[in-house]
Structure 1
Amino acid sequence: MHNRCSKPRSRYHEYAFWVLCSSLRTILYRMVLTPVMYDRIYADLRYTYDFLVEGDSLHVIVKNVTDLSQLSYSLSFQCPVNCTDKQTSLVTLQEEPLSGFRLKAGENSEKDPLFLILVNIRNKTAGNAPLETLRITFVDNDVEPSFGFYEGLHITQAVWIDHPRNQPETIYTMLDILDQDFKKHWLLEPFSEKFKANEGGKRMLKLTYIDDNAIVSPDRNHLMVIKRLSTCEGIQRYYRHFSVSITDNDVLGHWSEWGAWGDCSTVHPFCSRERKRTCLKSAFLLATAVCAGESSETEACKCPSG
């Protein structure tokens, strides 16, 4: 079949058809294609995690959009069964005109299941045309502890990762929601677990609580989130979460009587002597006693002769 926009044999017709086809293509491009491209906004969304923890917030930065007032945002939700008003009222969206928006999660004392927060982003200048739907996992912080740690005992717990096949290279690591200084309080071996592209399998992480401070504090729960990062994207995605309990080993103690003064030093002319006392505990032999004040004191004394 002869293509009407192909070049005919006659030079005259060749030129005429070429001009006609070129003109038609230009007109159609300007009438149909160009307005679509002008109305389309390619928003580049930047955020650290694709999950939002109860009581926390998530900042989403919008790039490649000159005028952020062109965008509108709305929330919808996907729950395992039916979303309740208590669940949906936990999440609010606050627009930030200079950067994007921030998702905020309230708190309650109920154990909420995992559910998805859908942020629908639209272009107001193009009839509210949809641009992007952001899917964020809501993580409840009221879950019962899966296991417990005792401060100072260095107990190790196994945490398993089951990675599916046919995935890009993926790195798993862990986050303590209550304390961002993870390495100071926890030992994770290995600190991250990497699966090569298309590699699947089950691997174990060893988690140990190593912080042994001298602060009397009530027993507390820590929410741990395992996150995964694919090397083909820059977002740390939710894998699973669990809670652990921390039992403090510090108790309020009481001071012993001051010991006898030591000998006066022989450092002339600033001679001094020292005495000490001990912080005692009355119960819980594994605990560390904590007392207010100093365990030693010094005073000036008469320098020995000679």
Structure 2
Amino acid sequence: MSLDESPCAELVVAGRDQVATNVVVLTLLRPDGGDLPGWTPGAHVDLELGADLVRQYSLCGDPADRTALHVAVQLEPDGRGGSRQVHERLKPGATVRVRGPRNNFELVPAQRYLFIAGGIGITPIRPMVAAADAAGADWRLVYGGRSRATMAFAAGLREKYGDRVSLYPQDETGLLDLDGLLAPPCDGLVYCCGPEPLIDAVQQRCRAWPPGTLHVERFTPVAIADGDETAVEVELARTGRTLTVPPGTSILAAVEAAGVQVLSSCREGTCGTCETPVLAGVPEHRDSLLTEEERAVGDTMMICVSRSRTPRLTLEL
């Protein structure tokens, strides 16, 4: 069974472990004990935590284990409420509606990797490290956090992989030396996940590197500069309908208002749930997922945030 065969599937919280300050790992099982869908390193699931409250969390367990899904959730006291719901409500025995897994952060086969994790950004990186090690690749993990107590999985990773794992608690070592880490030449792939300042700093240092070298995953959307926004016509190829999407209304909202069902989750261009093929027209990409190369091709877009550079778009909806 794939969890995507229906809008959501109900899973049971079978375990809950504190793995760092304000970080818990949930173990999620099917109520009937059956197998869960397969996934690959970098994948995430959506947790439906309440009315209009859906959050994405990376899977941090073993992809070979089809009996359980594991997600690590850091409490964000000043966040938007999702992590607070997890920490307060999802105790062993509780149920939660789950969609996925999906993967927008695939581990591309390579001979050499540099993994850079900041804080809870270790969650998708952890299974990537295991996969790279199992494949016999040359790899290194650089993992920074505010303090050792806040760094989930740090001790276990260091114990298992030794000197391949470098830990940098900020209160002991200061910020990561990105200039030293990312000094050219680059002869492998770089995977980075963590807070926005870390990702921005890594991207700045990798701008001149070959396309496809750097892979990142964000928790929050990239800021988009305000600009003039005009109405756009959107043709829905499957239904033959054409909608006019006014300024200030997302394409997703207009499509939903017309009665067309589209899977969506974050509505801010970070999860990839609403990714839609583009059959004609040129998208104006405002998401935080697609690479520059994918944007240049222009054959897909996140309709929750992106608009159009042409007066008309034709979408496979």
Give me the TM-score of the superposition, normalised by structure 1: 0.22
- Whose helix fraction is larger, Structure 1's or Structure 2's? 2
The structure with the largest alpha-carbon Rg is 1
- Whose strand fraction is larger, Structure 1's or Structure 2's? 1
